[in-house]
Every structure is written in structure tokens, then in C-alpha cells.
Structure 1
Amino acid sequence: MSRLRLLWQIPLILFVLIVVLILVNEYAIARSSRRINDIPYRPTNAPGYDVERNSLDVYAPTGNPSRSKPVVMFIHGGSWSSGSKNIYAFIGRRLAKLGVVAVLINYRLAPAVEVPDMAADCAEAVRWVSQHIAEYGGDSSRIFLMGHSAGAGLAALLATDDQILAKVGMSPNPVKGVILDDPAGLDMFDYLSRMDYPNDEQYLIPFGKKPAVWRSVSALYSLTAHTPPMLVYVGDQTYPSIIKSTRLFLQRLEALGVNHEFTRMPNKKHVGMVTQLFWKNNIIYRDLLAFVGAKR
């Protein structure tokens, strides 16, 4: 019986060891960066200002402060109705350790606002970064956007629709490149016109009921020959709608001659496409460093 009890304890011991190793690893990574959290990027007296949702965190490398570093702004997903920058702190820490100034942003969500207001929030965050990131060692002339799922759709929209940033005084568009991780919402006009999947009506809350709006916030329709370069990643086991819209998006990039690279990642589902970023040797980080010109 004593041996049997010992065998039952082995999985628990292994679990504790794994947790300890993860915590030690996170502590070591955190020491190589400093986090400045909950910075408001919209004026606090602006209509609709939300103290939680209109804030961002900066993760700045602690080494070699004399050299300005590229900036990657990460936009979280969550079906346009949930999610938080705080969930993805590991991305900020890893990017900072790799020699990038990372900015993780929140934005207002449905049902409080619809997608055009979410895009406007993200544009305000880009403006704040352009104006202030030098204070944290970032190079305002090298701003890149990155997002997963709905956040990738917003990142693609900001990079392709110059008018969104022009409305907050950012003209020309300062975005130098985009990293799209399993992007959702690239063609919501087609998606909401068809309603092919169960519970699709839930997306009428963030997108409204006007087809013209669906089209205006779908990055597929705002692509031009001047769209900045893109890295695009899709899991081969993700949602069929993401695979379909990304395929059309890539075809359009190709037709316009936009510089881009596409990687279809084997055995990856939608959530796994972002959780893999916990590991610093992930292929997305490797490609990203070359893409943004990071030097450790």
C-alpha cells in the first residue's frame, strides 16, 4: 500500500516541478525587461473613455539603452467581446528579452462599442506610441503591429485603411509591417452575409447589422499596393472561416504585389496558435526578429 501511495504522488511531484520550472523561467525573463503598466492612451476626458480598456502596457528591454529598438504592438483577440492585455504578459516579456520594445493594448469591447470604435481605439494607441515610445527606448519610425484572432483582424485593418489613423492625425500611416497570427475578421462582409455557422448572429453585436460597415472593417477590401509587408500564420486545424478568408487575403496580397510571407502551421488549432508564443524559440518569434530588424 505504501508503494501504491508513492506512485500516486509521482504525478503531483512532477506537476509541482514543472510549475516551479515555469515560474523560475518567467522570473529570469522578467528580469531582462521592465514593465510599465496601465498607461492611458486616450485623453481621460474623451467621450467614452474607459480607464481599463483604454490603457496599454510597455515592456522595455533593460540592456543597451543607448540604441533605439523596434516596436511591436500586440492586439489581443477574444471575438471582439472579451480578452485583455494582461493575459498575454508572456508575449511582452519574451519580445522585450529578444530586443524589442513591446506594447500590449486593451481596447473597448462589445456590447459597449462596435468594431469601428475598437479600431479607433487601436489607432489612438498607435498615436500614443508614436509620440511617447522613445521615452522607453523604442524607435517611433519602426512601429509594427501584431495580433491574434480578432486582434489580428484589427491589426490588418489599421495597416491597410489609412483613413483610420488619419482621423487621429497620423498621416502618413506609421505602421511599417504586420504580423498576423490566425487572423479573424479579414472578410466579415462575406462571413456575415452568409451566416454559414451556428451562433453566427452573435457577431452582429460587435459588427452591427449594416453590410456597408461589415465591408468597411474588413481588411480584405482596403488592401492596396502600398500596404506594408506582412507575416501571416495560420494553424492547419483552425476554424474553416479563418482558412478561407486568409486564403482570399493572401491572393489579394499576391495580386497587388505586397511583400508578404505565409506559414501554415501543422497540428495547430486556433488557441494553440497564440499559446505557442509562450515558448521563446517559437518560429513566429524567429521570423519576427528578422522582420522588424531586432538586434539583441
Structure 2
Amino acid sequence: MKLKLFIIPFICILFFNCASRKIKDITYLTNTEKTNDNKPTLNVFEPKKTNTDKNAVVIFVHGGYWKDGDKKTYGFLGRNFAKNDIVTVIPGYTLSPNANYDLMAKQIARVVEWTKNNIDKYKGDPNQIYVMGHSAGGHLVALISTNPKYLKNKKDIKGVILNDAAGLDMKSYLEENPPTSKYHYDVTWTKNPKNWKDASPIYFINDETPPFLIYVGSKTYPSIMTSNTAFVEALKPYQPKLEKIVLDKKHVPMMSHYFFPWVKRYDEIVNFINKTKI
């Protein structure tokens, strides 16, 4: 039994590697945005056996308290999406303390722009771009999808998928828990309360906000549960058919269960994409 449990994940990897082509470490910043310490890149997972060159695209942004994480960890997501004829873009971004929330969000916005301009080379439809993020990554994709300062055209994003997203209302959180050097929060959010509101997606929701699909773990951190509940309440007047799915999971398993290609999440995301296609 133990041997079978050990072998099954590797069989999955081998099988689903055949479904995708990985193009790694593509630079997405312009020359003026690069520095010696600031060279994040992205990976693309292109479906091999798709019948069209106009596939939907998911940009996935990893979490890690805005200070940790690596795009290389999430290849399983790209492979599994490829099985569903979805092109996947998985970017790296500069982490704290070398960047604050604003620089991170600007970089993720550049990923969207790069995808819009280049994804047709990888069988992706530039008019069907969706953004997805877990934890801190959920905050960043929500922020660029709501705060108008990040994207020239918010309509470039057709939908947003939040997976146990953190930081949706940093203003309220930091007013009660002022930032310190723990997790580099004093750098990530700064000590200026004006920036806390600027960093909080909940304050920028309006009738132009793209459709959201929201997952929350019933055993997640209280701050994530609280901010997601408030975010959904704020979004409901504009999106009365908002889909919020609560899973019986803790914070990390909310992401790790995507490793298995048969989990229901992939079908739910495909259905969300199909519903929001133009």
C-alpha cells in the first residue's frame, strides 16, 4: 500500500507532462524596470493536444507571506490546466524585503500586459485572460483587478479566481495589528496608513470589477476568513451570482490539493471560465 501511494503521484506527473509543453524563465519586465537584483521571470505551460490556438489563459500567482515562494513549485498546476486545454502563466515576482506590495502588484500587472501581447504564441487567447492566486498571490491578483492604478485596461482580465486569499482588507487588519519587522510587514505595507488602504482590494470594488470565483478554507486563518467574508459582502451588490466555495481545509491544503488532476476544482474553474467568456 505504501509503495502504491508513493508511485501514484509520479505516474500522474509523467502522464500529464505529456499534455503540456513548458517554456521557462521568460523575462516580462521592460529594460527600464530591471535592476541587478530585480529580474523576475515567468513560466508558460502550453497544452500539446488542444484543437485550437485560442485557448483560455490562467495567470497563477503564488503565495508566501509576500516574502517567500517560488514559481517553480507550481508546475503541477500548469500541467493539470493543460489537460483542460488552458494555457497557464506562472510568474515569479520580487519578494519582501526587496519590494513592497506596490512593486509586487506593478510586476503582476506587467505579467498581464506581457500575456496580452504574447500569449498567442503559446496557443492562448489574449482576449480570455484570467488571474488566480493563493494567499498573498490572491491579494495581488485581486489588487490589480480592482485598484485602477495598476492596469491600463482592467477589461483585459475576464475573471479572478481567489484561493484562500490573504490581504483583501489590509487597512482594517493593520489598524489593529500595526506592521512590524515580523514577516517584513513594515517593508511590505510600509508604516503609512494611506498605503494600507491603497493596498486593500475591498476599497476599489465597483460595477467594472471583473467576475470573481472565491474559495475559502473553513479551517484557514481567522484573518483570511474575516477579510474574505467582508470582501464577498462588498462584491455581492455588483455580482449577485458571485460563486463562493467553502472547503473543509486549512490554508496550505487549499493549494496543495491542486496537485491531483482529478480534484473538482479544475472542473469548477473551467465552468467559471465558460460562464464568463465573451
Where on the TM-score scale, by shorter chain, does this alignment land: which range?
Answer: over 0.9
Asked whether 1:134 is paired with 2:116, we answer: no
SS in structure 2 at match of 1:164: coil
Contact 1:42/1:49 (<8 A) preserved:
no
Structure-2 residue corresponding to 1:8: none
Equivalence for 2:149? 163
Per-residue deviation, 1:213: 0.6
Aligned to 2:191, what secondary structure does the other structure show? coil
Aligned with 1:165: secondary structure?
coil
Q: Taking structure 1 as reference, are residues 198 and 19 closer, same or farther at Cα in structure 2, changes over 3 Å only?
A: farther
Deviation at 1:43, TM superposition (A): 2.2
| Equivalence for 2:14 | 27
Cα shift readout 1:209-250 (whole Å, capped 9, x = no counterpart) = 111111101100111111111100100000000010011000
Picking from 161, 164, 168, the partner of 1:179 is 161
- Structure 1 residue 279: Cα displacement: 1.6
SS where residue 183 of structure 1 aligns?
coil
CA RMSD of aligned residues (A): 2.1
Q: What is the match of residue 191 of structure 1?
A: 173
- Equivalent residue of 2:155, what SS? coil
Residues 13-39 of structure 1 show CA distances to partners (whole Å, capped at 9, x for unaligned) of x44443222212201100110000000
CA pair 204-230 structure 1, distance change in 2 beyond 3 A? same
User: 1:73 offset after TM fit, Å?
Assistant: 0.3
- The answer to whether the 8 Å contact 1:61/1:101 transfers is yes
Q: Distance in 2 between matches of 1:292 and 1:21?
A: 29
| Cα deviation, residue 46, structure 1 | 2.6
How much does 1:204 deviate? 2.0
Residues 125 and 201 (structure 1), Cα distance of their counterparts in 2 relative to 1, 3 Å cut:
closer
Q: What displacement does 1:291 show? A: 1.3
Match of 1:204 in 2: 186
Is the contact made by 1:187 and 1:219 (CA closer than 8 Å) also made in structure 2? Answer: yes
SS at 1:256 equivalent: coil
Q: Which residue of 2 aligns with 1:43?
A: 30
1:118 maps to 2:123: no
Distance (Å, rounded) in 2 between the aligned partners of 1:87 and 1:204: 27
Unmatched 5+ stretches in structure 2: none
Q: Distance in 1 between matches of 2:172 and 2:182?
A: 12
Question: After alignment, is 198-207 or 268-277 more displaced?
Answer: 198-207
**Count, aligned residues:** 275
TM-score with structure 1 setting the length: 0.87
Unaligned runs of 5+ in 1: 1-13
The 2-side partners of 1:67 and 1:201 are apart by 42
State whether structure 2 residue 260 is matched by structure 1 residue 279.
Answer: yes
Shift of 1:255: 2.5
Map 1:8-19 onto structure 2 (within 5 A).
Answer: 14-19=1-6
Q: Which residue of 2 is the match for residue 97 of structure 1?
A: 83
SS in 1 for 2:52: coil
User: Cα distance 1:50–1:61, how it changes in 2: closer, same or farther (>3 A)?
Assistant: farther
Deviation at 1:125, TM superposition (A): 0.6
Normalised by the size of structure 2, how large is the TM-score?
A: 0.93
Q: Distance in 2 between matches of 1:151 and 1:24?
A: 29
Deviations 1:97-143, CA, capped at 9 Å, x for gaps: 11100110111110001000000000111110000000000000000
SS in 2 for 1:73: strand
**In the alignment, which residue of structure 2 is the partner of 1:215?**
197
Contact 1:228-1:258 at 8 Å conserved across structures:
no
Counterpart for residue 109 of structure 1:
95
Q: In the alignment, is the contact (CA less than 8 A) between 1:75 and 1:105 conserved in 2?
A: yes
Helix, strand or coil for the counterpart of 2:270?
Answer: helix
Question: Alignment partner of 1:125: what SS?
Answer: helix
Q: Give the superposition deviation at 1:256.
A: 3.0
In structure 2, relative to structure 1, the CA distance for the partners of 1:282 and 1:186 (3 Å cut) is same
Instruction: State the partner residue of 1:3.
Output: none
